[in-house]
Structure 1
Amino acid sequence: MIKLTADGTTTIYSECFNQYYHSIFGARLEAEKVFIELGLEYAFENFKEVNILEMGFGTGLNALLTSQMAEQQKRQVNYTTLEAFPMKEGLIAELNFDSKVFHQAEWEVWTLVNKYFRFVKHKVAVERFESQSKFNLVYFDAFAPSSQPELWTTEIFQRIADLMEKDGILVTYCSKSYVQRNLRAAGFTVEKHPGPPRKREVLRAILK
């Protein structure tokens, strides 16, 4: 089911997980606040080249906004995304933002989206994902703990930490107390930041 969110950006309801892919109070606003402002812009300040791991590709909105920012800032971004449950093609066509280039890209193959942005997607759960490269920015955008509690554990955050560089950044929209505790237990220093509309706090965590 398609829904127009408060900022005019569409999102889609997942019947499998009984949740929308984005905040109904503003899909783009949420993505820009959590993943672009707290994540990508901060990474640009701290790393020459940004290697992103996205946990939950979904509609492709995060990839789209990141590719646009990379081109705008003329900064190199290598973007790896994981999606165990890809969206159906018919739903993608209903979105009012153009993320088709990402959905149409071949799985497991790097795609050059623009001069500054490379993209690859893997149809795999994070527990089974292996990588020779290390990541310095993680977009943790799984469905909420009420739908996917198994993805917000210390064990999963430790798995992700093992894939990251020292001083790497993880950003997520979920600021529940036990999520903060699990991040700290996995070796992260947790920062709380003001969230997008109707969201009091979101998290940026630094791997030490």
Structure 2
Amino acid sequence: MEFVITGDGSNTLYHPEIGEHYHSKHGALQESRHVFIEMGLNHFLREENTNEVSVLEVGFGTGLNFLLTADEAIKKSLQLRYCGIEAYPLATDVIFATGYNQFVQPATWDAFLRQYSAALKEGVEFSAAVSLKIAHEKLISFQSHDTFDVLYFDAFAAIHQPEMWTDESLAHICSFLKPGGVFVTYAITGNLKRSMKALGFTVEKAPGAPGKREMLRATKVG
């Protein structure tokens, strides 16, 4: 794998076996901030007016979504419980070479450097307000007694990783989302909209990150 500089100057990784980048080539940072922080986390917080939030991420990858979420939680004095699912965790030297330290507070980055390896084995107290666990397993094998407020679905595109986007996979992972919980992803297709509606979600088109006209956000009914 190799680092690629995206349109906003932030790095992403190209995965040659999958044939895809981990983030948008138009801008890794702006995609993560728009799709997951603004359209996911902050949307949920505006709707619920709470100071506690739990996030489940499919595709922990480079950790960019977590870093931005943790930083946002710390700045807003939120209690954050974060679980990322990653079947193929990146080596620590790759994680640390991303250059993402320039986009978050030094304390957030320093804690990530210290805790990444441990979080792959068990849940860790990332900070006084943030906990982190990285589930080293495939989506369909994931199990948890916990449920979550927000689900970041950041798998590789369906054309490259179709098994992640099947009705079975979506039903399994969405079972861990609380009623009223929010599902967000960078993608939007007819199949995905139909699948989410069949699972009992209210589906909406939201403005996409640069390079994409639209994205999907869905709220679990019940």
TM range (shorter): over 0.9
Amino acid at match of 1:130: Q
Please list, as runs of the form range in 1=range in 2, the aligned pairs for 1:105-124 lying within 5 A after superposition: 105-124=118-137
Q: Which whole-Å deviations, capped at 9, do the CAs of 1:98-138 have from their partners, x for residues lacking one?
A: 36535333324222222221111110111111111111110
Q: Which whole-Å deviations, capped at 9, do the CAs of 1:131-180 have from their partners, x for residues lacking one?
A: 11111110000000011111112211111221111111100001111111
Secondary structure of the 1:95 match is: coil
Partner of 1:150: 163
Kindly, what percent of the aligned residue pairs are identical? 37
Unmatched tracts of structure 2, length 5 or more: 102-108
Partner of 1:83: 86
Select the residue among 55, 64, 67 that pairs with 2:67.
64
| Cα pair 1:55 1:141 within 8 Å, conserved | yes
Distance in 1 between residues matched to 2:142 and 2:49, nearest whole Å: 24
Distance in 1 between residues matched to 2:129 and 2:92, nearest whole Å: 27
- Higher mean alpha-carbon deviation, 86-95 vs 128-137, is at 86-95
| Cα pair 1:2 1:10 within 8 Å, conserved | yes
Aligned length: 208
How many Å apart are 1:17 and its aligned residue?
Answer: 1.0
Partner of 1:73: 76
Partner of 1:197: 210
Distance in 2 between residues matched to 1:31 and 1:7, nearest whole Å: 12
Distance in 2 between residues matched to 1:15 and 1:116, nearest whole Å: 37
| Cα pair 2:92 2:117 within 8 Å, conserved | no
Select the residue among 92, 95, 99 that pairs with 1:96.
99
What is the alpha-carbon root mean square deviation over aligned residues? 1.5
Amino acid at match of 2:132: F
Select the residue among 45, 51, 56 that pairs with 2:54.
51
- Higher mean alpha-carbon deviation, 122-131 vs 83-92, is at 83-92
TM-score normalised according to structure 2 size: 0.89
How many Å apart are 1:16 and its aligned residue?
Answer: 2.3
- Higher mean alpha-carbon deviation, 108-117 vs 184-193, is at 108-117
Please list, as runs of the form range in 1=range in 2, the aligned pairs for 1:153-164 lying within 5 A after superposition: 153-164=166-177
- 1:139 to 2:152 alignment: yes
Secondary structure of the 2:116 match is: helix
Amino acid at match of 1:55: V
Distance in 2 between residues matched to 1:24 and 1:16, nearest whole Å: 17
Distance in 1 between residues matched to 2:49 and 2:143, nearest whole Å: 23
| Cα pair 1:191 1:205 within 8 Å, conserved | yes
| Cα pair 1:158 1:187 within 8 Å, conserved | no
How many Å apart are 1:47 and its aligned residue?
Answer: 5.8
Amino acid at match of 1:173: Y
4+ aligned runs moved over 6 Å, structure 1: none
Distance in 1 between residues matched to 2:140 and 2:180, nearest whole Å: 22
